[in-house]
């Protein structure tokens, strides 16, 4: 069963949320991309967040992500909101927790929609809302021995 989105002839999948998770294991671009594959989608947008080697002018050595026990439920709420607001065919979002090194994938989100513009907009909304609403915190450790919590 499909649900009508709002544009004539365009349908959104009944349950477009295909993959959600908060994990300690390394993330896979291929897994996320495969999860949002849909023959009715003309556009797929994928965002990858990686651990960078600096922040605020300081060199970053490592960082750790931790999450609140409600984080996956909040991630689902954010995903459902995005799926309800756009003609999403398929949606996936995974965030890593634990100790990460420079270059590691921290978050991967993807959205497939009938058209590219909708996919870009929905993907941007998904990552922005995930970063602002899902209780995940970053503990950065800098080369000079200092550290800071972000999002706590």
Between the alpha carbon of residue 131 and those of residues 22, 41, 44, 57, 105, the distances in Å are 13, 26, 20, 22, 15
pTM of the predicted model, to two decimals? 0.89
> pLDDT at residue 12 above 90?
no
31 neighbors 116 (Cβ within 8 angstroms)? no
Q: Which domains does the chain have, with CATH numbers?
A: 2-150 (3.90.1170.40)
Q: Over the stretch 41-61, which tens digit does the pLDDT of each residue have?
A: 999 999 999 999 999 899 999
CA dist list (Å): 51 to 1, 28, 90, 102, 136? 40, 15, 26, 5, 15
At residue 152, the pLDDT reads 58
pLDDT at 7 over 60: no
Place of tokens 């209780």: 135
Which tokens is 151 given? 């999002």
């Amino acid at each position: 069963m499909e649900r009508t989105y709002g544009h004539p002839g365009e349908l959104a999948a009944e349950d477009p949320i295909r993959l959600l998770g908060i994990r300690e294991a390394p993330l896979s671009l291929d897994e996320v991309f495969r999860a949002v594959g849909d023959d009715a989608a003309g556009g797929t947008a994928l965002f990858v967040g990686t651990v960078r080697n600096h922040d605020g002018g300081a060199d970053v050595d490592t960082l750790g992500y931790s999450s609140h026990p409600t984080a996956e439920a909040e991630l689902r709420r954010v995903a459902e909101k995005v799926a309800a607001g756009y003609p999403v065919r398929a949606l996936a979002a995974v965030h890593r927790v634990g100790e990460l090194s420079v270059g590691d994938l921290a978050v991967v989100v993807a959205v497939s929609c009938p058209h590219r513009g909708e996919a870009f907009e929905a993907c941007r909304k998904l990552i922005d809302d995930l970063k602002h609403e899902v209780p995940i915190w970053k503990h950065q450790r800098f080369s000079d021995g200092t550290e800071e919590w972000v999002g706590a």
